[in-house]
Amino acid sequence: MGILEVKGVNKRFGGLQALGDVNLSVKQNTVHAIIGPNGAGKSTLLNCLVGKLMPDSGSVMFDGQSVLGRKPHEINQMGISRVFQTPEIFADLSVLENVMIPCFARRDGAFRLHAYETVGSERDIRGQAEHMLEDVNMADKRHMHAGSLSRGDKRRLEMAMCLVQEPKLLLLDEPTAGMARADTNNTIDLLKEIKAKRDITMCIIEHDMHVVFSLAERITVLAQGTPLVEETPENIKGHPKVREAYLGEAQV
């Protein structure tokens, strides 16, 4: 059993079958990549895992509990965080404030659960956020406006905003999209460091095969909403199903 178990998930948008009978099992403490051409349904699948979309049928179990029907913030509190395809940061706030926001959300969520117990003062939260920024090598940028950061740093900030919540599962939708090679390599190193330091499972959607082969232990190939193959990186190179996914027809 994986920490994430997706079974028979279907999602239609009008006449378009965006996901067709998707099964996916992600093992705890692994990095699992989902690859496939544009429009394959990768982001739609992620949206179904975090409560942004409701599948038409199927089940999504995380850590033994169903995520379906739960609100995005409830799923977040279960331990799933997501880095979006387009970074979702607060451009007019400082880098530090951006990282403090999820801490407040987490504290206030917990506050509602345990009415008389506060989980962290503002000073603790500031310390936690500063520590997180050190972990992602952004401590020197903590007073900058988030909107003025480079694309690579915005991604890094978004990762810090996710990681400060100490997720069990981190979902990354094209974390290196539009980055120069040096920034991409920094991101790979950062994700490796995070993986080495924490008990964390990562599910990463990527078009850049250099990133996929540097990080992934398992790879699922998605085409037209359906997984074609799940394999180790060694076994997936030159696999006919990968060519099928990218060319739209069987090449065997």
Ligand X SMILES: Nc1ncnc2c1ncn2[C@@H]1O[C@H](COP(=O)(O)OP(=O)(O)OP(=O)(O)O)[C@@H](O)[C@H]1O
Residues that bind Mg ion (CB under 5 A): 42-43
Q: Are 187 and 155 in contact (CB under 8 A)?
A: yes
With CB under 6 A as the contact rule, the residue among 4, 32, 35, 42 that binds ligand X is 42
Smallest separation, CB 11 to ligand X (Å): 8
Nearer to ligand X, 38 or 182 (CB): 38
Nearest Cα neighbor of 100 from 134, 145, 133, 62 is 133
Nearer to Mg ion, 37 or 120 (CB): 37
Smallest separation, CB 60 to Mg ion (Å): 18
Residue 74: count of CB within 10 angstroms of its CB: 12
Among ligand X, Mg ion, none, residue 13 binds (CB under 5-8 Å by kind): ligand X
Nearer to Mg ion, 33 or 136 (CB): 33
Cβ neighbourhood burial of 110 (10 Å; 0-12, 13-18, 19+): middle
Q: Are 140 and 175 in contact (CB under 8 A)?
A: no
Give the range of 39-47, 103-111, 112-120, 178-186 binding ligand X by CB under 6 A: 39-47
- The helix-helix angle for 181-197 and 122-135 (nearest 10°) equals 120
Smallest separation, CB 202 to ligand X (Å): 17
With CB under 6 A as the contact rule, the residue among 3, 32, 33, 41 that binds ligand X is 41
Asked if 40 interacts with ligand X (CB under 6 A), we say yes
Measured CA distances, 139 to 69, 95, 98, 148, 149 (Å) = 38, 9, 13, 15, 13
Nearer to Mg ion, 36 or 79 (CB): 36
21: its two tokens: 């009978």
Size, binding site for ligand X by CB under 6 A: 11
Smallest separation, CB 21 to ligand X (Å): 15
Give the range of 1-9, 34-42, 98-106, 180-188 binding ligand X by CB under 6 A: 34-42
Asked if 39 interacts with ligand X (CB under 6 A), we say yes
Cβ neighbourhood burial of 247 (10 Å; 0-12, 13-18, 19+): exposed
Asked if 44 interacts with ligand X (CB under 6 A), we say yes
Cβ density class 221-244: b for 16+ within 10 Å, e for less:
bbbbbbbbbbeebeebeebebbeb
Nearer to Mg ion, 107 or 155 (CB): 155
Give residue 250's region: left, alpha or beta (phi > 0; psi -120 to 50). Answer: beta
Asked if 18 interacts with ligand X (CB under 6 A), we say yes
Q: Are 144 and 92 in contact (CB under 8 A)?
A: no
Smallest separation, CB 13 to ligand X (Å): 3
With CB under 6 A as the contact rule, the residue among 6, 43, 206, 214 that binds ligand X is 43
Residues that bind ligand X (CB under 6 A): 13, 16, 18, 36, 38-44
